[in-house]
């Protein structure tokens, strides 16, 4: 499964996939007038207008044969489209996780993802951590429910703490490694020449175990 940004020449394929999936799955149980209303709203021109916004995220999922099997479109922190050709294969989840990673670089704009979920897709979004925000609503005969998911923002203090931990661990690792190499070479002076490589290896291994033991103790107190 490959998820990436879609290019302008792939817009037509994405548009056709959305209409096809809607007619095959989401349209079930809807009145003909509701289906017609959706198709009137989801036109090529309307789709192109959404994509012209610089905040728009337009992603596609491709299978092993490089065929487009899923589309995600969002206007910033508002998820507008998420359609997949085959359910139960992790396509929708892969698209959403990619989208969520993109939002982490835009955290100053907001910390909540919002969407209007059709009733049949509510369990899917709940599995991704979304919660119901309001009661069921209806427009043009299509029922939906507003949902949202709060993003966890890593504080500046936590980032500084992790960076400091990385520096400390790197310093200790270098000290352990350097000490083990120097001690092994000193001890090997009085040893037969053929014994030296084996001794160096095991001495370094022993000090590495000391380092790992310290590593676990260090994080148990942080």
Mean pLDDT of the chain: 77
The reply to whether the predicted model has a pTM over 0.95 is no
- Structural domains of the chain, with CATH: 2-113 (3.40.630.30), 156-220 (no CATH)
Whole-number pLDDT of residue 114 = 95
Helix or strand (DSSP H, E) at 32: helix 32-41
DSSP 100-158: HHHHGGGGGG-SEEEEEEEGGGHHHHHHTT-EE-S--EEETTEEEEEEEEEPPPPPHHH
| Percent over 90 (pLDDT), the chain | 41
Q: Residue 162 pLDDT > 70, yes or no?
A: no
- Cα separation, 159 vs 39, whole angstroms: 47
Per-residue pLDDT of 166-220, as tens digits, reads 555 445 444 544 554 554 455 445 545 454 455 455 445 555 555 555 445 444 4
| Angle, vertex CA 74, rays to CA 73 and CA 75, nearest 5 | 135
């Amino acid at each position: 499964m490959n998820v990436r940004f879609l290019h302008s020449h792939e817009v037509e394929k994405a548009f056709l996939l959305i209409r096809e999936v809607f007619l095959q799955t989401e349209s079930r149980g809807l009145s003909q007038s509701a289906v017609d209303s959706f198709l009137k709203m989801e036109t090529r021109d309307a789709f192109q207008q959404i994509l012209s916004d610089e905040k728009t995220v337009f992603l596609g999922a491709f299978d092993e044969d490089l065929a487009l099997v899923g589309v995600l479109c969002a206007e910033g922190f508002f998820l507008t489209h998420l359609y997949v050709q085959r359910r139960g294969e992790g396509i929708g989840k892969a698209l959403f996780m990619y989208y969520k990673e993109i939002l982490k670089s835009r955290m100053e704009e907001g910390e909540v993802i919002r969407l209007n979920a059709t009733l049949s897709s509510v369990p899917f979004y709940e599995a991704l951590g979304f919660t119901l925000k309001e009661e069921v609503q209806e427009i043009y005969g299509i029922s939906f429910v507003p949902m949202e998911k709060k993003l966890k923002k890593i504080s500046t203090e936590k980032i500084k703490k992790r960076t400091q931990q990385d520096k400390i661990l790197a310093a200790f690792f270098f000290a352990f490694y350097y000490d083990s190499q120097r001690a092994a070479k000193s001890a090997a002076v009085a040893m037969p020449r053929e014994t030296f490589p084996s001794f160096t290896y095991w001495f370094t291994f022993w000090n590495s175990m000391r380092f790992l033991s310290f590593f676990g103790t260090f994080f148990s107190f942080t």
